Chain A
Amino acid sequence: MKPPRLFLKIFLWFWTTLVLSALSVAVTFLFSHPVTRAQWHRHWIAGLIASALVCYLLARYLTLPVVRLRRAARELAEGNLHSRALGTNRRDELGDLVRDFNVMASRIEELVSRQRQLIYDISHELRSPLARLNVALDLARERKGADPSFDQMEHDLERLNDMITRLLTIAQLDGAAKPLAMSVVDLSELVAQVVHDAGFEARHRDVTVTLSADPACSVVGNAELLSSAIENVVRNAIHYTDVGTTVEVALKSELLTRRVTLSVRDCGPGVPDTELTRIFLPFYRTTEARDRKSGGAGLGLAIVDRVIRSHGGSTGATNRPPQGLEVRISLPSSPPDN
């Protein structure tokens, strides 16, 4: 927490001015009415305290709207678009500023939500022609027989499908669609299921997936979304780990902090240290290892991050020596007996 500099400045200016002017009045007064030393001291201290109080209130009156504006602006920057500044009742310029700020915030919220809605609607609408293309392609295959260009078309159709699905998930998490249905989810069981299901894919790459889980880790959330988020992280690890290595999945319940932590560690090339926070951004991919050849559109971890944040949790990634990436997910555990 930084010291309230503006407040201190205003306070000291006013106080110094007030004290100096009081002193000059006192000096002229003293020449006409001599007082004892004790009386002089008493007046002096009383004056000092009274002026300090007045200046404190004045400085506070002037800086409070600024503090509130700052709080609202910061919340807005963190993504809480509903955030508005308090103190719209003032009739002065500061009140105007607060009101204008709130108008601006409403406008931003409207623009962003309209943009999200647009992404959602477009992705939604794109699915109908895609569905038709899929069937038409199959009919063409049926008539013209096998042709490598059909395979390429099918492959690209699948890619488009995947991207649209993920965009829709992101739109849903950003609040463009219906609100999420939340319930108590047994994370231990969910993770066991994900690890079990991921076995199909792991065997193809001769990768072993190990799981160590504390029993009865439960969180409040949307089971489908949590499952797809964890699936994304685990599949990502299986995808990037070196052939024949192990992916370690660990689920720990921290009683003290009332959080549940999931870590997924692979033995792959990892990610450059400077890029560690950026891998959670949409359409991110590092230049070398995670190139377009690997298939995805770089939306997987972005979805993970959004899912986890919408559950009040956090995500993080670190490189682990000697090699490999560890992705951590931390979620608030659900209160017991609920």
Chain B
Amino acid sequence: MLCRVRELSNTIELAGWDRMDRVLIVDDDLELCALLRERLSTENFITDAVHDGPTGVQKALSQDYSLVVLDLMLPGMGGLDVLRAIRMRSSVPVLILTARGEDVERILGLEIGADDYLPKPFNSRELIARIRAILRRAGRSTLAGEPLAFEDIRLDRAAREVQVGGAPLAMTNAEFAVLDILLQNVGQVVTREQLTESVLGRKLGPFDRVIDVHVSNIRKKLASRQGANHIKAVRGSGYVFVSRAEAR
């Protein structure tokens, strides 16, 4: 009953502040959620917190939120399963919180389609910066721009859609942004630093492999349609998008 009242008050709040971004926190640590909500509210975010997987999926798919902060260490339905369920139906940006040292989970999370990750325990200023960066990019990519086309790949910024050979190809927000940059620079090396800065809105950290996972996801998706590896890695520096002739 109390929850219901709180939700109602949130809705009222939302009506007055529809410019504010709504963030959903999925974490089983109730005290942490309370602290985070308080901290995020000082930065003008409206936050909701849920503490289990199924509710998390349901809320994340409700289209009320511009971003989901998801803890991968959830009891019951694990964070990775929650992410998978969200990604089957929605491309809402997801920032995952992973335990330090659990590198496999982190990589898996990014492969399933998380936008970025933050190791827990985290610095809340860092969390806010990452949320802002992801939201800024998500907002920007919906701005109209002329579609990019290369060979049979077509990227429509206005519709936020990628087509390969006329058929649409599902991409997450982050993957879309990476592909966008690579397609703007066909044949030129785009450094990992550049990609991280413009896609994740932050500096490339040491031993930071988020961009590489996004690139590898795009590669897999393109290869499933074409069987060609369009994106070549340039050792120690970055990636380059090449034509199909060069890809083979």
- A interface list, Cβ under 8 A from B: 124, 127-128, 130-136, 138-139, 142, 154, 157, 161, 164-165, 168-169, 172, 181, 189, 192-194, 196-198, 200-201, 224-225, 227-228, 231
Note all chain B residues with C-beta closer than 8 A to A197.
206-208
The contact sample of 18 A-B pairs, CB cut-off 8 A, is: A131-B120, A131-B121, A131-B122, A132-B29, A132-B35, A134-B124, A135-B35, A139-B124, A142-B39, A161-B100, A165-B100, A172-B101, A192-B236, A193-B236, A197-B206, A200-B206, A227-B207, A231-B206
B residues adjacent to A (C-beta < 8 A): 29, 31-32, 35-36, 38-39, 42, 99-101, 103-104, 107, 120-125, 206-208, 235-237
Checking A131, A142, A224 against B32 with a beta-carbon cut-off of 8 angstroms, the contacting residue is A131
A154 to B125, CA, bound (A): 12
Q: Are B101 and A165 in contact (CB under 8 A)?
A: yes
Q: Given A181-B104, A193-B236, verify A138-B121 contact (CB < 8 Å).
A: no
Given A130-B121, A197-B206, A135 and B39 touching (CB < 8 A)? yes
Measured between beta carbons, the chain A residues less than 8 angstroms from B124 are 134-135, 138-139
- With both beta carbons as reference points, the residue of chain B lying nearest to A154 in the complex is identified as B123
In the complex, residue of chain A having the shortest beta-carbon distance to the beta carbon of B122: A134
Additional pairs, 17, CB under 8 Å, beyond known A130-B121, A138-B39, A200-B206 = A124-B99, A127-B99, A131-B121, A131-B122, A133-B121, A134-B122, A135-B32, A135-B36, A135-B39, A136-B35, A168-B99, A168-B101, A172-B101, A193-B236, A197-B206, A197-B207, A231-B207
Q: Do A198 and B206 touch across chains, with their CB atoms under 8 A apart?
A: yes
**Which residues does chain A contribute within 8 Å of B38, judged by CB atoms?**
139
Question: When A and B form their complex, which 5 residue pairs have the shortest distance between CB atoms, in order from nearest?
Answer: A131-B121, A224-B103, A138-B124, A135-B35, A165-B100
Interface of A is mostly: helix
Q: Is there an interface contact between B123 and A134, defined as CB atoms closer than 8 Å? A: yes
The residues of A that contact B125 with a CB separation of less than 8 Å are 138
User: Which residues of A lie under 8 Å from residue B235 when comparing CB positions?
Assistant: 189, 192
A168 cross-chain contacts in B, Cβ below 8 A: 99-101
Chain B: CB-nearest residue to A198: B206
Alpha-carbon distance between A189 and B235 when the two chains are bound, in angstroms: 7
Residues from chain B with a CB closer than 8 A to the CB of A192 are 235-236
Query: Chain B: which residue is nearest A133 at the CB level?
Result: B121
B182 to chain A, nearest CB (A): 20
Residue of B nearest to A228 (CB): B207
A133→B121 CA distance, assembly (Å): 9
User: Cβ of B206 and Cβ of A201 under 8 Å apart?
Assistant: yes
Q: Which residue of B lies closest to A201 (CB)?
A: B206
Say which residue of B31, B39, B104, B121 sits within 8 Å of A139 (CB atoms).
B39
The smallest beta-carbon distance between B39 and chain A, in angstroms, is: 5
What's the minimum C-beta distance from B73 to chain A, rounded to whole angstroms? Answer: 9
Chain A residues closer than 8 Å to B123, beta-carbon distance? 134, 138, 154
Residues of chain A within 8 A (CB-CB) of B42 are 139, 142
Query: What's the nearest-Cβ distance from chain B to residue A179, in Å?
Result: 11
Q: A134-B123, A228-B207 are in contact. Are A128 and B103 (CB under 8 A)?
A: no
Question: In the bound complex, what is the Cα–Cα distance between A193 and B192 (angstroms)?
Answer: 11
Contacts of A165 in B (CB 8 A): 100-101
**In the complex the two chains form, what is the Cα distance from A136 to B188 in whole Å?**
46
CB pair B35–A139 under 8 Å, yes or no, is: yes
Which residues on A sit within 8 Å (CB–CB) of B207?
194, 197, 227-228, 231
What A residues does B101 contact at CB under 8 A?
Answer: 165, 168-169, 172
Question: In the assembly, what is the distance between CA of A131 and CA of B69, in Å?
Answer: 15
CA gap between A34 and B216 in the complex, in Å: 97
A77–B125 CA distance with the chains assembled, in angstroms: 48
| Contact among A127, A142, A196 with B120 in the assembled complex (CB-CB below 8 Å) | A127
Asked whether A132 lies within 8 Å of B206 as measured between CB atoms, the reply is no
CB of A196, distance to nearest CB on chain B (Å): 5
CA distance in complex: A228, B32 (Å): 29
Distance (Å) between the CB of B128 and the closest chain A CB? 9
Nearest-Cβ distance from residue B168 to partner chain A, whole angstroms: 33
Closest beta carbon of chain B to A201's beta carbon, Å: 7
Q: Which residues of A contact B36 (CB under 8 A)?
A: 135
CB distance from A187 to the nearest CB of B (A): 13
Nearest residue in A to B120 (C-beta to C-beta)?
Answer: A131
When distances are taken between beta carbons in the complex, the residues of chain B under 8 Å from A124 are 99
- Min CB–CB distance B206 → chain A (angstroms): 4
Q: What residues of A have a CB within 8 angstroms of the CB of B206 in the complex?
A: 197-198, 200-201, 231
How many Å lie between the Cα of A135 and that of B69 in the bound state? 15
What is the chain B residue whose CB lies nearest that of A194? B207
Return chain B residues, CB-CB under 8 Å to A138: 39, 123-125
Residues of B within 8 A of A161 (CB): 100, 121
